[in-house]
Chain A
Amino acid sequence: MERHFDEELQSLHKDILRMGALAQEAIYKSVEALKNRDRTTAEEIIKGDSKIDHLEVDIDEKCIDLIARHQPLASDLRFITTGMKINTELERIADLAVDISQRVLELSDKPLLKPLIDIPKLSAIAQDMVRDAIDSFIKKDAGLAREVVLSDSEADKLRNYVQNELVNDYMAKDASTADRAVPLLLVARHLERVCDHATNIAEDVVYMVEAKVIKHHPESLQ
């Protein structure tokens, strides 16, 4: 039986997808700005964040309104509560794009410390994880969501590698490199946080689809 409520859920679904697209775009552009040392794009990302903030508030209000008016249960309840959580994660991903953009501004007038090799790799993982997490939400695909969760360890390893390299090979040997090494170190940290948020989205998707809590239960991924 088709319900009017379904139309409202569809509308919420579309808003979350729009939020996902904006967050993905912000991350992609911030990493491109870093690679190209592009101040203009970095400034655009910082300026454009308020649009994402507003959408986050709109989605939250829509979710609260749906809960208040329809008192949803079962899969409807799981969809709305998951939608609210994903909304927050996406807004934080967009905030991290802003953080990366600020690092781009800090680095743009300084010579590059080293060729960027591992940070683009980490950014590729982060973007794949965000894309797959959102896809798993769209397709209600708990299998894909689990794959996203599993790939987080790779991001952690790469972040540690970048960190060790910048600290041991540069800052420890020559303290004057710190003003160029620290922003890169932070970028790696920001990207790793993006991966964490993608992981959270994926864990929420598994709950939405299967009503199983896998958060903090690594054994349930097997």
Chain B
Amino acid sequence: MQKIEVKKLNLWYADFHALKDVDVSIGEKKITAVIGPSGCGKSTLLRVFNRMNDLIEGVRISGEVFIDAENILAAQADLVKLRKKVGMVFQRPNPFPLSIYENIIFGPRIHGFENRYELDRIVEKSLSSVLLWDELKDKLNKPALLLSLEQKQRLCIARLIAVKSDVLLMDEPCSTLDPQATARIEELMRELKNNYTIIIVTHNMQQAARVSDDAGFMLLGELVEFGRTDDVFTRPQDKRTEDYITGRYG
């Protein structure tokens, strides 16, 4: 089943044509990796899914992007609802300078949750989902900024779970982590895909090959190839994909 349908998507930053006629279907409860060289448009595409590009001056978009059959590019799209549904994890984990507990309940509070019992339950559920509950249940009032990088990244994912996002956008989520922490975040992603649709942008080809179900290769704003990860990494159909993943591109 498809979660996201992108149809003839074009995006310009002023005169720069950053996304060109992108058509893609993203499966529900799957991990989809987007790979490509720097500046190819992969992060731009990711940011389309929760309309983060709207914050950039001079951006123009055409085409359609449906999430659960709703066109998120439509003028009447509810951005608060969209960003609740489609959360984002960034390259560097960015917890708020608050306690661990406050970080988790920040979103739910904005969305109207006030009942302490409810909030406690959300904190436990969210931290358990990212396998942090046992580690942190006795330290919930400690500042989140004191956590390790990996714990901070998990906490940021827990914040999305707390507001019941069902699409997780991950922009190079492991690029600041060591190999062991990376492996644990990848393991977490595999766990999360039982309940969430995950789209990851990564420069790490091995990570894309390891973790994703589907993969797309972007070049100069074009989605050159999209398919099952097994196929893209062992038998790419387009020579440009082959050249990039074998390191011949340049």
Q: Which residues does chain B contribute within 8 Å of A75, judged by CB atoms? A: 242, 246
Q: Identify which of A1, A71, A72 gathers the most chain B CB atoms within 10 Å of its CB.
A: A1
Determine if A53 is an interface residue (Cβ-Cβ < 8 Å): no
Please tell me if the beta carbons of A1 and B248 are within 8 angstroms of each other in the complex: yes
Of all chain A residues, which has the CB nearest B247?
A: A3
Convert B208-250 into 0s and 1s, putting 1 for each residue whose CB lies closer than 8 angstroms to a CB of A. Answer: 0100000000000000000000000111100001100111111
From 189 to 219 in chain A, residues with beta carbon under 8 angstroms from any chain B beta carbon are: 211
Chain A residues 1-52 with CB under 8 Å of chain B are: 1, 3, 5
Our pick among B209, B249, B250 for the contact of A73 (Cβ within 8 Å) is B209
Q: How far is the CB of B204 from chain A (nearest CB, A)?
A: 10
- The CA of A211 and the CA of B250, in the complex, are separated in Å by 24
- Using C-beta atoms within 8 Å of the partner chain, give the interface range for chain B: 10 to 19
Shortest beta-carbon distance from B215 to chain A in Å? 11
Q: Report, as a range, how many residues of chain A touch the other chain.
A: 10 to 19
Residues of chain B within 8 A (CB-CB) of A78 are 234-235
Is B246 touching A76 in the complex (CB atoms < 8 A)?
Answer: yes
Cβ–Cβ contact A73 & B205, under 8 A = yes
A211 and B247 within 8 A (CB): no
How far is it, in angstroms, between the C-alpha of A1 and the C-alpha of B242 when the chains are bound? 13
Interface positions of A from 63 to 79, Cβ below 8 Å from B: 71-78
Please, how many angstroms separate the alpha-carbon atoms of A75 and B238 in the complex?
Answer: 12
Inter-chain CA distance A71–B207, complex, in Å, is: 11
B249 close to A74 (CB less than 8 A): no
Question: Are B246 and A72 closer than 8 Å at their CB atoms?
Answer: yes
CB distance from A117 to the nearest CB of B (A): 45
